[in-house]
Amino acid sequence: MSALTEGMKAPAFTMPASGGREVSSAALQGKPYLIYFYPKADTPGCTKQACGVQEALPQLGHLGLEVIGVSPDAMPPIEKFAAKYKLAFPLASDADHAVAEAYGVWVEKSMYGKTYMGMERSSFLVGADGAIVKIWRKVKPDAHAAQVLEAARALA
């Protein structure tokens, strides 16, 4: 698990994404972006978070910020989730959790006394230079879009 900190270079990635797209850090070079990690498509918290980001998308786009959501789900449930909520930004599949591991968000979790590995709800705001500007760990889905918007405005 990597211990990324603000100011460090964001790990490189290439992943398949909703709408038949592919997302990569190389394609985002020279642009600021938000990469956010969520545990599972179409669950209450993840839906709340994705819809909040979707609602803020016009303002984020106006600030020149690209957004990518990442989960360990395979593409079919991701496509279904994106279509169901009309999410315009790409949702990427990190099925082997290599990207999550590079960002340090594939972590041990526990529920009902059982431990398992899973995605920590976290976000990384990356500047146009490829360096991490802001990190949010254990994100609260309700407040997330507003936090991102505030940080993105400070970048602009």
The count of other CB atoms within 10 Å of the CB of residue 117 is 12
Residue 81 is classified by DSSP as: H
From the candidates 4, 46, 68, 145, give the one annotated as an active-site residue: 46
Task: Report how far residue 11's alpha carbon sits from residue 28's, in angstroms, rounded to the nearest whole number.
Answer: 12
The verdict on whether 46 is a catalytic residue reads yes
Reduce the secondary structure of 41-67 to three states and give it as a string. Answer: CCCHHHHHHHHHHHHHHHHHHHCCCEE
Catalytic residue annotation: 46
